Chains A and B, each alone.
Chain A
């Protein structure tokens, strides 16, 4: 047993000494090169979140341009080419460069803290994943600014996206962006699964894992199952375009619909990859601010797992209009309806938690309220379009545009903002302004509904999606103008958030270790946490450890503080198994990301890019894994107690 009681008195000097040794072992190198070498999950998680929020802002600018164009019939803000490019960029940016990466960033930042360890399982791989993501995003926007942006929608349906109908490089750029983001997402998924499976602190059995950690685990497993489908299909698309294969070319015996099946087999789980971490955040916020353990904890966890499983069984509801046989239609209607049950159960559990708790209304909880107000509308319209006949009317109209913005902004972005107001004080040590948060909340709640609620009616009145303009005699003008006007409120809310974030760095009140009286481990370390996360690695005896900790709750001892060593525990009972050394800072993940990027971009223009890229990647890989140090630490060092025995 490695846990020893804190009751053993330690002097302040001893503690400072230990902190210095840990900092020397875990600290990140300084300077620009140091920033490229760092493997600290907090630095990388922060980068993910900030980069993703930047892409969110860019996607928002694109959305604003679209609303300007659609504010009245026959407007000329954008040409057809520009509009089609912009909605493709908007959708791809929001899905691939904002929503999924921002959730990945939150997971990378929070999971090691929440499970009480010092870093993620594969720190260098983590650094590599971020560089691949950001380089993919830069490549995508450089192509767009060079007029090679894709214009076939974020779903790139064949045959429209084949060379015959889309000459130029747009769809290739899109398909390669997918490759970048898939790679980065898979990297994150593997780290998260392993970190959760083997690095939870002593006592954090699966049933005691924080719900956000459960959500992260479900999300990571979903990524591992969903991404191969899009990896396959985007590679097939790029091969059809580049080396004249005929997977999707009907004239050569291919299938136009094969693409849709493969794309939505990934594309629908993708929505839940965004939604499930957000649900985890809601659970954490509700638990903290109701001041009591969540009601129906096993049901909430089972709901997350059920959502993650069912999420793979309803992709065909995107394809009802292609003609689905009756039994198939009924099956996918049933699964699409079923998936609302676990979400309903979670909402009921949150309401019961607040009902029986002592709620404190703070900005994070306000964003949970906004989530309920907005998301439930999206959930209900989702149940409507699960019905084949109703979907045939509403599919591909502005009703669907309204629906999925209610679901994704309601069920993804609003909880995310709740989570940001909740965890930013931990990350920066400064509280965000409560007043600014309330302004942000009201501006977004009202602005969002002004923009998107009228779109339901536009869909019912026959306005299809993805149209760059419409005729005056359609009568769609007034509602479009209303929708466009709401954008001003949304922009104002976003500005309030950014200003509040910047001001908090200089004017924010000090957060202290635990500004919220929260139950989970991360609030027990300093804000911001040190490079090694915890001076004393905590142990856990319940699902709400900080509310139930004994006065002499043991901490973990016997893990070296002069090298990057973490405790590895067993999956089921979270008891110590062995100690493992984690890799330290390295420039090679960055170099490998550059060479991978060269290969990916080269292969758009020339199939030789694939072998050349592979060859270019070999040197950094060799350098990455070269055993530079003479000292050969056994991967499995015996525990202190074992050694004694």
Chain B
């Protein structure tokens, strides 16, 4: 029977390193390479449960596969090229063949029934919603993720994009919705996927047990830039998470020097403010990611580019070069103006 509690040192965990080079990056490698993304290197009890199911299925399948293929080839090789009447003429051999077929069919039914039981028990365990979770609303857009953390009062609410910060060891429940087409929320190291469906609210939950950066990506074809709709989950200890939340609640840092002042003026004067919000300034449009704390994020354009001065400038000047389908228009600015704008955006910590 499936144990509902995930044991990190269980059978699944011990089998995993064997295939490590093939099935994705281990969470601990997060700092060195890219963020973790692997079904078989779970970092939550939910993904752990499924990984256990996976290894059981692989084990059974390997045995069944070897038996079936071996039987087939032995059957061909046994009497190959022998002449004479086939054994079909012998009624005893016939009866034995029939009995073996029936036996194999019964064995199949037994294995499948056991698998069904395991699967349903696992599903039941995963369907139990957590108590006192951190709630986050996730809204899918073509092609980015909008994230809302409710606060004690509306003014405490936090809006961010493409980077989901969560506390370690505390369940997180996501309320999923879509602003346009069907998307699918999927972070392989943390849980199975859940669709974001227009006109419907769906929900999913997980509890991250190891701090780290986990990669996710939209899993349902959502149009031209489906490939560029990534998401990072950043799991931190509770204290760090609270601190992050407090920082995000604050309005944008006001410009501190002439360059950033100029940058802010450009932002508010150009097309930027028609779509983006920077809380604490006049920019309050809602159709594009909230940029109030843009500089605190690791990537831009839903994971298409790292968040660095060079990439930010290149993105603003010609977003379609990196993400052809994006709705964001190109912004033509001379060198100094662009530098000022980038400096301002980089100051939004």
Binding site for B on A (CB under 8 A): 79-81, 84, 151-153, 157, 159-160, 165-166, 250-251, 255-257, 290-293, 295-296, 299, 321-323, 326, 329-330, 333-334, 337-338, 340-341, 344-345, 347-352, 354-361, 365, 369, 372-373, 376-377, 380-381, 383-384, 386-397, 457, 459-462, 464-475, 479
Q: Which residues of B contact A389 (CB under 8 A)?
A: 49-50, 53, 119, 122-123, 126, 192
Q: Mark B33-50, 1 if CB is under 8 A from A, else 0.
A: 111011110000001011
Q: Which residues of A contact B73 (CB under 8 A)?
A: 369
**24 A-B pairs whose Cβ atoms sit less than 8 Å apart in the complex:** A291-B86, A295-B94, A322-B202, A333-B119, A354-B72, A359-B75, A359-B79, A360-B81, A361-B80, A365-B76, A369-B73, A387-B122, A388-B119, A389-B53, A389-B126, A390-B54, A392-B191, A393-B188, A395-B193, A460-B24, A461-B188, A462-B186, A474-B37, A479-B22
Q: Which residues of A contact B53 (CB under 8 A)?
A: 387, 389-390
Q: A462-B38, A479-B22 are in contact. Are A256 and B101 (CB under 8 A)?
A: no
Are A341 and B109 in touch, CB under 8 angstroms? yes
Which of B61-69, B144-152, B261-269, B337-345 contacts its partner?
A: B61-69
Are B192 and A321 in touch, CB under 8 angstroms? yes
CB-nearest residue of chain B to A384: B57
Are A347 and B184 in touch, CB under 8 angstroms? no
How near does chain A come to B254, taking the closest CB pair, in angstroms? 34
CB-nearest residue of chain B to A461: B24
Are B116 and A358 in touch, CB under 8 angstroms? no
Are B181 and A165 in touch, CB under 8 angstroms? yes
Partner of A392 from the list B35, B40, B65, B192 (CB cut-off 8 Å) is: B192
Q: Which residues of A contact B94 (CB under 8 A)?
A: 295, 356
- Closest CB pairs A-B (n = 9): A392-B192, A473-B34, A461-B24, A250-B199, A462-B37, A387-B119, A467-B227, A292-B88, A354-B75
A153 to B200, CA, bound (A): 22
Q: Which residues of B contact A391 (CB under 8 A)?
A: 192
Are B98 and A390 in touch, CB under 8 angstroms? no
Are A341 and B57 in touch, CB under 8 angstroms? no
How near does chain A come to B186, taking the closest CB pair, in angstroms? 7
Q: Which residues of B contact A386 (CB under 8 A)?
A: 119
Other A-B pairs, 9, CB within 8 Å; known A349-B101, A359-B80, A471-B230: A255-B199, A321-B192, A351-B68, A360-B81, A361-B76, A369-B72, A373-B69, A460-B23, A475-B34
Q: A256-B182, A296-B101, A396-B220 are in contact. Are A376 and B75 (CB under 8 A)?
A: no
CB-CB contacts below 8 Å: B92-114 with A = 93-94, 97-98, 100-101, 104-105, 108-109, 112
Which of B7-15, B211-219, B234-242, B307-315 contacts its partner?
A: B211-219
B223 at the interface (CB under 8 A from A): yes
How near does chain A come to B70, taking the closest CB pair, in angstroms? 10
A250 to B182, CA, bound (A): 11
Q: Which residues of B contact A152 (CB under 8 A)?
A: 221
Binding site for A on B (CB under 8 A): 19, 22-25, 33-35, 37-40, 47, 49-50, 53-54, 57, 61, 64-65, 68-69, 71-76, 78-88, 93-94, 97-98, 100-101, 104-105, 108-109, 112, 115-116, 118-120, 122-124, 126-127, 142, 180-182, 184, 186, 188-189, 191-195, 197-200, 202-203, 215-227, 230, 303-304, 324-325
A377 to B57, CA, bound (A): 12
Q: A80-B225, A372-B72, A468-B227 are in contact. Are A380 and B192 (CB under 8 A)?
A: no
A459 to B37, CA, bound (A): 10
Q: Which residues of A contact B325 (CB under 8 A)?
A: 80
Secondary structure at the A interface, as helix, strand, loop or mixed, is: helix
A344 to B34, CA, bound (A): 42
Are A337 and B112 in touch, CB under 8 angstroms? yes
Secondary structure at the B interface, as helix, strand, loop or mixed, is: mixed
How near does chain B come to A501, taking the closest CB pair, in angstroms? 26
- Identify which of A341, A381, A457, A479 gathers the most chain B CB atoms within 10 Å of its CB: A457
A397 to B115, CA, bound (A): 22
Q: Which residues of A contact B93 (CB under 8 A)?
A: 356
Partner of A352 from the list B97, B200, B217, B303 (CB cut-off 8 Å) is: B97
Are A395 and B219 in touch, CB under 8 angstroms? yes
Partner of A80 from the list B80, B82, B222, B227 (CB cut-off 8 Å) is: B227
Are B192 and A460 in touch, CB under 8 angstroms? no
Partner of A387 from the list B47, B82, B115 (CB cut-off 8 Å) is: B115
How near does chain A come to B223, taking the closest CB pair, in angstroms? 6
Partner of B223 from the list A160, A356, A459 (CB cut-off 8 Å) is: A160
Q: Which residues of B contact A387 (CB under 8 A)?
A: 53, 57, 115, 118-119, 122-123
Are B197 and A299 in touch, CB under 8 angstroms? no
CB-nearest residue of chain B to A385: B57
Q: Which residues of A contact B189 (CB under 8 A)?
A: 462
Partner of A165 from the list B97, B180, B186 (CB cut-off 8 Å) is: B180
A356 to B88, CA, bound (A): 6
A232 to B74, CA, bound (A): 49
Q: Which residues of A contact B38 (CB under 8 A)?
A: 460-462
Q: A295-B101, A354-B72, A356-B93 are in contact. Are A323 and B115 (CB under 8 A)?
A: no
A383 to B109, CA, bound (A): 12
Q: A250-B198, A369-B72, A397-B219 are in contact. Are A357 and B87 (CB under 8 A)?
A: yes
A334 to B126, CA, bound (A): 18
Partner of A457 from the list B23, B76, B180, B181 (CB cut-off 8 Å) is: B23
Are B181 and A159 in touch, CB under 8 angstroms? yes
A345 to B215, CA, bound (A): 42
How near does chain A come to B260, taking the closest CB pair, in angstroms? 30
How near does chain A come to B3, taking the closest CB pair, in angstroms? 14
How near does chain B come to A589, taking the closest CB pair, in angstroms? 38
Partner of A333 from the list B40, B76, B120 (CB cut-off 8 Å) is: B120
Q: Which residues of B contact A396 (CB under 8 A)?
A: 184, 186, 193, 219-220
A387 to B75, CA, bound (A): 32
Are A355 and B180 in touch, CB under 8 angstroms? no
How near does chain B come to A338, taking the closest CB pair, in angstroms? 8
A464 to B49, CA, bound (A): 21
How near does chain A come to B71, taking the closest CB pair, in angstroms? 5
- Identify which of A151, A293, A365, A460 gathers the most chain B CB atoms within 10 Å of its CB: A460
Q: Which residues of A contact B230 (CB under 8 A)?
A: 471
- Identify which of B74, B82, B100, B224 gathers the most chain A CB atoms within 10 Å of its CB: B224
Q: Which residues of A contact B50 (CB under 8 A)?
A: 389-390, 392-393
A250 to B199, CA, bound (A): 6
A472 to B215, CA, bound (A): 13
Are B124 and A326 in touch, CB under 8 angstroms? yes
CB-nearest residue of chain B to A474: B34
Are B120 and A330 in touch, CB under 8 angstroms? yes
A330 to B57, CA, bound (A): 17
